[in-house]
Structure 1
Amino acid sequence: MKRTAAHKGTVLIVEDSQTLRQMTQMTLEERGYTVLTASDGVGALQALAETIPDIVVLDINLPDIDGFEVCKRIKADPRTRYVPVIMATGLGRSGFEIMSIESGADDFIAKPIDPLVLDARIEMVIRRMRRERFANALTGLPSNALTEERLGFLLARRKPFAVIFFDIDGFRAFNSRYGHARGDLLIRHLAELLLEAVNFAEPDDAFIGHLGGDDFIVTCDPDKAEGIAHSVVASFDGSILDFYEDEDRESGGFTLTDRSGEPKRYGPLTLCAAVVPVVERFPGSVIELMDQGHDLLEYAKQQPGSFVATERRGIGLG
């Protein structure tokens, strides 16, 4: 009986040579990986739009977009920024390594590729990135540890930025009504709305974090923050009823029995956002910044419907 290797992760192989692509795919599948493939740069970016792999093995010499440019685009997209990339090429080693690093690659390997070396490199990079990334398992976005690290970096840099806090009001009741599976679909949908809004606004050095449950954070340029917040809220309001059954959609909500046995009516879910610009004075800690955002978010949740609240003064201790 053939023994099946334990699943070690999902790898996207981007290689224009069909022979090399198939050989690498077969080798990695034998070692327990799920393998996706693309023969050019456009195909690689399309594959990443559909599925977020654990790692990308990227050839440099592609027929349309060279591997360095593909890597730059992967790292520029908030959705794929934390997917590790191993560059593979037969170019001269020193120049290849420099260009790989400049494009944002996490590691590199020279051709011809030794399957055992590639397997070891993939394991090493995935292990390192998982340890550093602390990604949310549901959305693939950075979770608490990396988000706090990001906020700490922005505070230490002492340059203007903004933080947008997002929270779905009534999400617990929605889960009680429809179950966690549909709740998970809704959370992933909100993550996609955030990614779309951020990509459309094209802010410099944007970051999207998933703190858990229905709580998300975006950091971006101060002048782009309100536009992103309003865009996400409008998209959420325009699509939320798609997650309801016809009966609830037609009646505008549903009724649940509370702990005291009394019926309670719940309308369609709403999304609240709190925009906290940090432009003149800087808070003394990440905790203080988070507290300011959560206080403003609570104010937003007290308003009727979906709401975007903005701290106009900036914040900090001076």
Structure 2
Amino acid sequence: MNKKIIAIGKDTKIKKTIKKNFLQAPYDLYLFEDEREALQIIYDEIPELVLVEALQNPLIEISIINSLKSDPLFVSMNVIAIVSSDFNTNDWKNFLIDDYIRVDDLELDLLMRVNLSFERVERVIATSPLTKLPGNLVIQREIQKRLDRGDIFALAYADLDNFKPFNDKYGFSRGDEVIKMLGRLILNIVRSDQPSGSFVGHIGGDDFVFIMSPDKIEATTQKIIDMFDNLVINFYDEEDVRKGQIESINREGIKQTFPIMTVSVGITSNQHRNFTHFSEMAETASIMKSFAKKQKDKRYAVDRRRG
């Protein structure tokens, strides 16, 4: 699948140059004049790179991108600003961008700068390539940063039940689609319930984490569980949906029946407990997730211990 590039610009000559550069390049280019339309696409499906024209008033024109780049969700999204020939490099600290290119060099250097930016990101594995969500390194930093600041927050650790038998029967490709669906689902519901201050990350495989206010996280978790139940049946063959189970191979290599996949979630918070290191909090959430898998009445478990 080609990398996705969003370009935002109004100057006719610049747009023409951008189109010319990417005419035969192995990228999918989407060009917008209206930054609001571009932002909608960026939020719906995070692109690998954003090109933004910042000629007239860079501080204003980059402000939207600054807001995006300050969000951990967009940490891996490259941003290249197209600036004027007399751009003052002292202003660099005001921009949360990865690179800039002067408009006079656009025709000659644009494609090279884009290629180099992708190579830089690939050397720093900060996100899940499957879901585009922040990966382990970013997750650890985010938890530790909040603990160090003294923030009060809740951490949820989610994964799929009976995912391996599904993967073994239907193949990795369909399994990847389920993981991508779960990632989008968690992201959309978490951001809808708490637009500011929340966080979603993909540890790897079918393991995800999300961070929210302690008073919101249980209701959001139940929404995620319920919505996943409604959506996951679309990934099964009709006959298996009718049966409510599949035949697959267990870990001992023996054929066995397995129920339709579900989500289990473990939740902890530092509201009444004093965590000092991200690993302590993550381990507690993981333990609660194991409890959730054993419960029959609901599929999430909350650590309510104090002290």
Q: Aligning the two structures, in what range does the TM-score lie when normalised by the shorter sequence?
A: 0.7 to 0.9
1:169 positional shift: 0.6
CA distance in 1, matches of 2:248, 2:27: 45
CA distance in 1, matches of 2:152, 2:85: 41
Q: Residue 257 and residue 165 in structure 1: after superposition, are their counterparts in 2 closer, same or farther (change >3 A)?
A: closer
**Alpha-carbon distance in 2 for matches of 1:59, 1:302:** 54
Instruction: Structure 2: state its 5+ residue gaps.
Output: none
Is 2:154 aligned against 1:188? Answer: no
Q: For 2:38 and 2:105, how far apart are their aligned partners in 1?
A: 20
How far 1:126 moved relative to its partner? Answer: 3.6
Shift of 1:58: 0.9
AA matched with 1:83: M
Alignment RMSD: 3.2
Structure 2 length-normalised TM: 0.84
> Secondary structure of the residue that 2:129 maps to in structure 1?
coil
SS of residue in 2 equivalent to 1:312: coil
Count of residue pairs brought into register by the alignment: 304
Deviation at 1:143, TM superposition (A): 1.5
Q: CA deviation at 1:171?
A: 0.3
* Structure 1 position 241, deviation (Å): 1.0
Distance across 2 between alignment mates of 1:30 and 1:298: 50
Residues 21, 110 of structure 2: 8 Å contact kept? no
Q: Give 2:11's aligned residue.
A: 17
1:131-210 correspondence runs (5 A)? 131-210=123-202
The answer for the alignment partner of 1:272 in structure 2 is 264
CA contact (8 A) 2:85 2:104 kept: no
Q: CA deviation at 1:71?
A: 1.6
- Matched residue of 1:256: which SS? strand
Q: CA deviation at 1:243?
A: 1.0
- Whether 1:215 aligns to 2:215 is no
Distance 1:189 1:78 in 2: 20
CA distance in 1, matches of 2:185, 2:300: 15
Amino acid at match of 2:268: V
Q: Structure 1 residues 183 and 235 mapped into 2: Cα distance closer, same or farther (>3 Å)?
A: same
Letter of the 1:45 counterpart: L
Q: Does residue 52 of structure 2 align to residue 58 of structure 1?
A: yes
Cα distance in 2 for residues equivalent to 1:17 and 1:76: 27
CA 1:176/1:9 → structure 2, altered by over 3 Å: closer, same or farther? Answer: closer
* Structure 2 equivalent of residue 289 of structure 1: 281
User: In structure 2, what is the Cα distance between the partners aligned to 1:279 and 1:145?
Assistant: 24
Shift in Å, 1:113: 4.5
**Paired residues of 2:55 and 2:82 also in contact (CA < 8 A):** no
1:300 pairs, out of 277, 292, 297, with 292
Distance 1:67 1:115 in 2: 21
2:55 aligned with 1:74: no
Corresponding residue SS for 2:275: coil
Q: State the partner residue of 2:225.
A: 233
Give 1:39's match in structure 2, choosing from 27, 30, 33: 33
Does the 8 A contact of 1:60 with 1:89 survive in 2?
yes
- Specify every segment of 5 or more residues in structure 1 that has no aligned partner in the other structure, as ranges: 1-6
* Length-normalised TM-score, structure 1: 0.82
The yes-or-no answer on 1:309 pairing with 2:301 is yes
* Counterpart-to-counterpart distance in 2, 1:267 and 1:206: 32
Q: Distance in 1 between matches of 2:21 and 2:41?
A: 20
Q: CA distance change for structure 1 residues 153 and 18 in 2, over 3 Å: closer, same or farther? A: same
Farther-moved stretch of structure 1 (155-164 vs 18-27): 18-27
Aligned CA distance change for structure 1 residues 31 and 115 (closer, same or farther; 3 Å) = farther
Pair 1:88-2:82 in alignment:
yes
In the alignment, the residues of structure 1 paired with residue 159 and residue 47 of structure 2 have an alpha-carbon distance, to the nearest angstrom, of 27
**Is the Cα–Cα contact under 8 Å of residues 167 and 215 in structure 1 kept in the other structure?**
yes
Q: Secondary structure at the match of 1:188?
A: helix
Distance between the aligned counterparts of 1:32 and 1:265, measured in 2?
44
Alpha-carbon distance between aligned partners in 1 of 2:81 and 2:223, rounded to the nearest angstrom: 36
The percentage of counterpart residues that share the same residue type is: 25
